[in-house]
Structure 1
Amino acid sequence: MKKFLLLITFLFAISVGYSQNTLKANVSNENLELLKSFKSEEQQRISRVNAYTKSNRKVIMTSKDSLNYMHLYDVIDGVALYKTTHNLGSANATKTSDLQVGGSLGLNLDGSGMTLGVWDFGPIETGHPEFQNKTNTGSRVINVDNTSVGSETGFNDHATHISGTIGAKGVDANARGMATNINIHTYNWTNDKVEMLAAVNSATNPIIISNHSYGVPLVGEDKEKLPAWYMGAYTKDARDMDEISRNNPKYLIVTSAGNDGRTSYTGGMYADFDKLTTDKNAKNNLVIANANPVLQPFSSNFKTLIINRSSSQGPTDDLRVKPDIAADGTDVYSTTLDGTYATFSGTSMSAPNATGTLALLQQYYMQLHGGYMNSSTLKGLVCHTAVDDIAAPGPDPAFGWGFLDARASAEAIYNATTNTAILNELNLAQGKTYTMKFSAIAGDKLKATISWTDMPGDISQGELNDPTARLVNDLDLRISKDGEVFFPWKLNFDSATGFSNSKGDNTADNIEIVEIEAPSSGEYTLTVSHKGTLRGNVGNVFTPQTQDFALIVTGGNLVLNTKENVLSNNLVVFPNPSQGEFTISFDAHLNTNEDVKISVYDTSGRKIYANSFVNNSVRFTETIKLDHARPGVYIANISKGDSNTTHKIVIK
């Protein structure tokens, strides 16, 4: 045992040294302070575990079978906390296949040029044929941590299966992952918070998405259940995740919900609910439930869409919608050791189904805009476009906001470039209100979402089912028309009847979604405001600050107000297709004297042209020459002041 603990301390020191040496030179002071704090906490955690094992003669880790692992992770107030892996044709159900190479959308996305982080029990089999690059000259996977948790040695089946679900290239077509050419950096879950900070701030190949298919179960290896107050509580682990997210706004942490759906305990909010633990109760991560979808034959339509009974149910004690969404984690066929394949089920499998899909959405956004979207934008987008479970409309504590629909998310990204949808990253200042107007024609549903990365909240003090809201910056989304106000969804709770949803003032979630099922024709006004004082982590946290947020609006009958789309008014690109020389012309009645900026990107997101033009006339007209541009599709980004638009360019 002493030798083992010395080994853990030695490996920790190595990982910290590696992290510090590879950090970006311009890493923020907030991240440096957080890294210092996490390093200190990790040493204290090791000391607590050491003391507990000595006094109770407990083992650090127990291997339950070839796939499931449980590890004595920490001891808090005398309670032993264990971490466990979350186990029990994903791409088709989530419509990720429509985005992939050869998919129906024609996007041919594969995650090229991107790196994801995978934290799990141990290293994966990098030599598996499914992890080879396109030319089969090397692996796309690097085991940054080349050891397992505890005393296990060798490659790990669980981590290998998860990584295959994310990024298997498709040597076996049935095992093809979501992002077939993505790079993966793997770590074991010991010291994960320090390593996450280092990976997202790395000077080379920084990550913007990571997968975590493990967590603290209701019942530990000692067969003792956690104290009831842990379930649904906003613990320090949850706060730490929120703090990492707040300091790194592009970084989205994807976690499995857990597999305690069939586990019962005394003291929960309601029978068969309230089973999320520790970091699953954070605000800024994306927590994935395990659904069991069945598609109709030769169709992408659902025959049935139900949650797997083993999937852990929410919500949080303060009635936030958790899990956030569901993905396909039932009977997932993927990579295992020795170049083989196997079928497993669990939220461990649904999380990487979502993680790999999110990477493709970021790749597509990069191609259109030349940069990645904020994590709150990506999270809001997949919640906005999620498919409602068949049982009832609106959010619930099993599916969250619904089932992942990659095709609908990609279509929203594209429609925003043609001004038939809105996908904007905005900022709300203290005491201000954001307002926009749009028109709608009676018929299709209108849907609007705001999503933001919130400040860390106050940690729960051990009170059972404490309903205190953990939201710090409470933004409010409203849509109005002819005196009628449309409110967002929210969860409700009654101790006698359980959980339901309704529309009203949501004071719990940092995602708000307004749906108008049957809009009437006419003009609508959308507003985003806030309650109280906006807090931040720049300078003095007690002084009023601003809050970034994403705004997403979709609907087949949406007609955007001309004020919101001034650069798109009568936009003409001609000829298009062209031989590489074309003219951009549009109405430019803007109350600014700023230059018009035009950038052109290829489909990999590489900028091939950029220039600024002085323009104070009513009509802007300029000819662009793309020398040496190869035939293909390009995206022109056009901006003047705070207004911008994009347009697809085809070179033949």
Structure 2
Amino acid sequence: MKKNLIFIGMLLCITAYAQKNNETLKREFEQQKIQNEKKFDAYAEKVYGKNPDSSTKKKIDSLKSRLGGFNFDIPYFLEEHDTRQLSNSNSDQLNTAGNISGLTGAFNGENIKYTIFDGGRIYAAHTAFDNAPNRITNKEESTQDYSDHSTGVGSFIGGKSANLSSGGVSVGNAKGVAVNSTMDSYMFATTTLPGDTSTSTVFDKILTASPNISNHSYGVNSGWTINYDTSGNITSFLYNGSKSGSTFYDLQGTYNTSDYNYDMLVYNNPSFIIVKSSGNYFDMGPNGSTSTAPKYYRNSSGQVAFSSTDTIPQNNCSQGYDCIGTGSLAKNIIVVGATDIITTNNFRYTTSSDVVHSEYSSAGPRDDGGIKPDISTVGTDVLYAATSATGSSVWAGGSGTSFSAPVVTGIIGLWTQIYKQLFNNALLNAASAKVLTVHSAAEAGNIGPDPWFGWGFIDAKKRSGITRW
């Protein structure tokens, strides 16, 4: 009895400690928001003038809502990172009873809730989620648009089985990893949540949601960005590094305030499993392009054209590594890279050469040598539930680390479901989730960790067969 009382007392102390630290974090996030918004207002006035017209004001407000922070007084902005996947990762082996020795039943996300932070609201009425009522709960104001990207991310995590065809020819199945799970949907933009009087950043929202498992398919391009018009023509190249004197400084791989925030959220709340995409910026830049579109770089006053005497920085990951942006470099989260679909052996992994790095997937490591991404899985030429801004049930195909990250998120939810069965409904925590992800990975690329695949290609089944983790 004394031991039980001591244990309960320890739990209460730990809970109180976490709550106290979360209050400290809330105050810190609030100060960051105030300082960043003040700096952004000064920046916007320099760039757009003191009295912008209504169209420009709308653009400024949109940028402000997606403000991620500052690198050397230069603002950076959050953006979206735009069933063979299940076979490739072996997650389908958990969906059917009897495939894993020592485990009872099938695992399809029952009683598992995911939290998705993305570009807009998930279209809850999409047929991808109609296999059970109330699978999607939107936490933002109903005036916010539905998001094709958010809805797609949700379908990779838990969309129901849907055999898709085109012109009478089967093109695949868009089934997600955990078809009986539920999902809460938030925006990564700074918005005012229902019932609140002040705005919340994505970090505030994470504290509000207190999610066990969350997906974050967005990030920052800290290198070259290519801008296009509606016809797909290049209109400009923009370098997101910094310049001092005649030297340009690369901010890719740079651990910054956003990374610190994610790390502190997990440090103070060990149950927060945060999965994030690595970005789609590999080889992006003007070098090798035939386009004559103008080239710019950022400074504290806006965009500046490169001069004829400037040495143009190399394309992102020009040496094959180092193009992951701020916010996807935190130590305590799981960052996911993208690979092509494995088409051999009935879509099953057999050898490391089966895994092919997707040409756009941003590569690590962090500037201090820390391994990023942490893991990789399929994200190229995949099928997902799509929608319009006002809501529609359609399907689409696409590529991106935005689509590989939710596969890993979904698998961690299945592992949590198994863990709950084995250990009296206990939750898997962030440290355990990362250890399982890393140590069960199938070899990919070079032996050991590398900048393209992290610790390898995710294997949902390998650790699931161990009855005591």
The TM-score with structure 1 as length reference comes to 0.54
- Residue matched to 1:140: 135
Pick aligned residue for 2:431 from 376, 397, 417: 376
Distance 1:73 1:232 in 2: 16
Unaligned runs of 5+ in 2: 1-14, 49-55, 165-172, 190-200, 228-235, 242-248, 286-312
1:122 and 1:147 in contact (8 A); partners too: no
- The match for 2:43 among 52, 64, 67 is 52
Using a 3 Å threshold, how does the CA distance of structure 1 residues 380 and 198 change in structure 2: closer, same or farther?
A: same
Residue pair 2:93, 2:461 contacting (<8 A) in 1 also: yes
- Once structures 1 and 2 are overlaid, which stretch shifts more, 70-79 or 316-325? 70-79
Spell out, residue by residue over 1:414-451, the C-alpha distance to the aligned partner (whole angstroms, 9 max, x if none).
Answer: 2x3xxxxxx3xxxxxxxxxxxxxxxxxxxxxxxxxxxx
| 1:208 lines up with 2:262 in the alignment | no
**Equivalence for 1:314:** 364
- AA aligned opposite 2:216: H
Q: Deviations over 1:131-186 (max 9, x none)?
A: 2353xxx33111112369xxxx5211011100110111225481111111111111
The corresponding residue for 1:394 is 448
Cα pair 1:143 1:185 within 8 Å, conserved:
yes
Q: How many percent of aligned residue pairs carry the same amino acid?
A: 28
Matched with 2:95 is 100
- The answer to whether the aligner puts 1:272 opposite 2:326 as a matched pair is no
State the Cα deviation string for residues 205-227 of structure 1 (Å, max 9, x = none).
Answer: xx211111110112356843122
1:550 is matched with: none
CA distance in 2, matches of 1:248, 1:100: 29
Match of 1:196 among 188, 206, 224: 206
- Structure 1 residues 341-388: Cα deviation after superposition (integer angstroms, max 9, x where no partner): 111111000000110111000110110012022211111111101011
Please tell me whether the aligned partners of residues 18 and 268 of structure 2 are also in contact (alpha carbons under 8 angstroms). no
1:124 equivalent to 2:138? Answer no
CA RMSD of aligned residues (A): 2.6
Distance in 1 (alpha carbons) for counterparts of 2:20 and 2:62: 39
Q: Does 1:162 align with 2:153?
A: yes
Partner of 1:281: 329
Counterpart CA distance in 2 for 1:225 and 1:103 is 53
Whether the 8 Å CA contact 2:224–2:238 is kept in 1: the answer is yes
CA distance in 1, matches of 2:439, 2:274: 18
Of 387, 410, 420 in structure 1, the residue corresponding to residue 464 of structure 2 is 410
C-alpha distance in structure 1 between counterparts of 2:72 and 2:28, whole Å: 20
SS in 1 for 2:109: coil
Instruction: State how 1:482-561 maps to structure 2 within 5 Å.
Output: none
1:109 counterpart (107, 110, 124): 107
The amino acid of 1:331's aligned partner reads D
Relative to structure 1, the CA distance from residue 141 to residue 375 in structure 2 (aligned partners, 3 Å threshold; closer, same or farther) is same
Distance in 1 between residues matched to 2:271 and 2:375, nearest whole Å:
19
Describe the SS at the equivalent of 1:306. coil
Q: Verify the 8 A CA contact 2:338 2:361 in the aligned structure 1.
A: yes
CA distance in 2, matches of 1:46, 1:156: 25
Distance 1:94 1:333, change over 3 A: same
Equivalent residue number for residue 588 of structure 1: none
Judging changes above 3 Å, is the alpha-carbon distance between structure 1 residues 363 and 157 closer, same or farther for their aligned structure 2 residues?
same
In 2, the alpha carbon distance for the partners of 1:280 and 1:35 equals: 21
Instruction: Write the letter of the residue equivalent to 1:175.
Output: A
Distance 1:155 1:299 in 2: 33
Q: Distance in 2 between matches of 1:197 and 1:52?
A: 29
> 1:267 and 1:100, CA in 2 relative to 1: closer, same or farther beyond 3 A?
closer
TM-aligned CA deviation for residue 48 of structure 1? 2.7
Relative to structure 1, the CA distance from residue 367 to residue 81 in structure 2 (aligned partners, 3 Å threshold; closer, same or farther) is same
1:341 and 2:395 aligned: yes
What secondary structure does 2:319 align onto? coil
Conserved 8 A contact 2:337-2:405 = yes
Residue 42 of structure 1, CA deviation: 1.9
After superposition, what is the alpha-carbon deviation per residue over 1:572-631, rounded to whole angstroms, capped at 9, x for unaligned? xxxxxxxxxxxxxxxxxxxxxxxxxxxxxxxxxxxxxxxxxxxxxxxxxxxxxxxxxxxx
Partners of 1:125 and 1:269 lie apart in 2 by 36
What is the alpha-carbon distance in structure 1 between the residues aligned to residue 255 and residue 417 of structure 2?
33
Q: Distance in 1 between matches of 2:320 and 2:78?
A: 22
* Matches for 1:230-309 after TM superposition, within 5 Å: 230-264=251-285, 265-266=313-314, 271-298=319-346, 300-302=348-350, 304-309=354-359
Greater RCO, 1 or 2 (C-alpha within 8 Å, sep 6+): 2
Please give the secondary structure, in 2, of the residue aligned with 1:33. helix
Aligned-partner Cα distance in 1 for 2:62–2:265: 30
The equivalent residue for 2:72 is: 77
| Aligned-residue offset at 1:92 | 1.0
Closer, same or farther in 2 for the Cα pair 1:34/1:332, shift >3 Å?
same
Determine if the alignment matches structure 1 residue 224 to structure 2 residue 228. Answer: no
SS at match of 2:396: strand
> Closer, same or farther in 2 for the Cα pair 1:77/1:147, shift >3 Å?
farther
In structure 2, what residue type is equivalent to 1:118? I
One-letter amino acid of the counterpart of residue 458, structure 2 = L
The verdict on how the C-alpha distance between 1:343 and 1:62 changes in structure 2, with shifts beyond 3 A counting, is farther
In 2, Cα distance between equivalents of 1:364 and 1:242: 26
Instruction: Please say if residues 60 and 71 of structure 1, whose CA atoms lie closer than 8 Å, have aligned partners that are also in contact.
Output: no
CA offset digits 1:312-368 (Å, max 9, x no partner): 000011111110000111112111111111111110000001101110001101100
Find the aligned partners of 1:93 and 1:60 in 2 and give their Cα distance: 43
Deviations 1:81-102 (A, max 9, x none): 1222111x21111000001145
